[in-house]
Chains A and B, each alone.
Chain A
Amino acid sequence: VQVVESGGGVVQPGRSLKVSCEVSGLTFKNYAMNWVRQAPGKGLEWVAVISYDGSSEYYADSVKGRFSVSRDNSRDTVYLQMNSLRVDDTALYYCASGSKMVRGVPIYWGPGTLVNVS
């Protein structure tokens, strides 16, 4: 299984950015997909999860109303749309999966994509 995030970069506070995650080696449409972030020198913070069919989404309180997760099962890709970005959103953003259930343990992780809000 390969998980590859992309789309990170430098963005000004208040602006938007959309990052992507492409998965191969598994039947993507059967897996819930998570986004997890890690600020420099800090611990892991879960951001969002989307169900295998896109019918359900759940968010961390810190991003609710600003971030939106979506997926395209025809492209084996999940997205994270980040709006109204703040300096404290600066982090390495990981994409992770491992189960059809949103509460299933994510065992497949990508290397992450870095988002720098400054």
Chain B
Amino acid sequence: SYVLTQPPSVSVAPGQTARITCEGDNLKNQVAHWYLQRPGQAPVVVVYDNVDRLSATPDRVSGSKSGNTATLTIGGVEAGDEGDYYCQVWDNVSDQWVFGGGTKLTVL
């Protein structure tokens, strides 16, 4: 089955930039979405269709994709950005949604 690989954890100091990657063998042909899940809460979409933000997503959060790697970039990191971030794609081969393993963002 298709696999999306994310780093288990990323740590940054307040005000710095966090980058969370998502790798997949066929990601260059797929559309990536990103979720933030805070403890005890349901996931929330922060970026969809590789680069688009929902209205509630701050401008300092952005998505990009290069080849088989999608990246979520969070500039000027704040304590409120902490949580688990997941990437997600629709796999056309298996007709299934696939989530990455998740990345825990810690603000030092």
Contact = CB atoms under 8 A, between A and B. Distances in A.
B74 to A, nearest CB: 19
Contact of B42 (A58, A98, A102, A111): A111
B42 A110 contact: yes
A21 to B, nearest CB: 12
Interface residues on B, range: 20 to 34
Interface residues on A, range: 20 to 34
B59 interface: no
B98 interface: yes
Interface of B: 1, 33, 35, 37, 42-45, 48-49, 54, 84, 86, 88, 90, 94-102
Interface of A: 34, 36, 43-46, 49, 58-61, 94, 98, 102-103, 105-107, 109-112
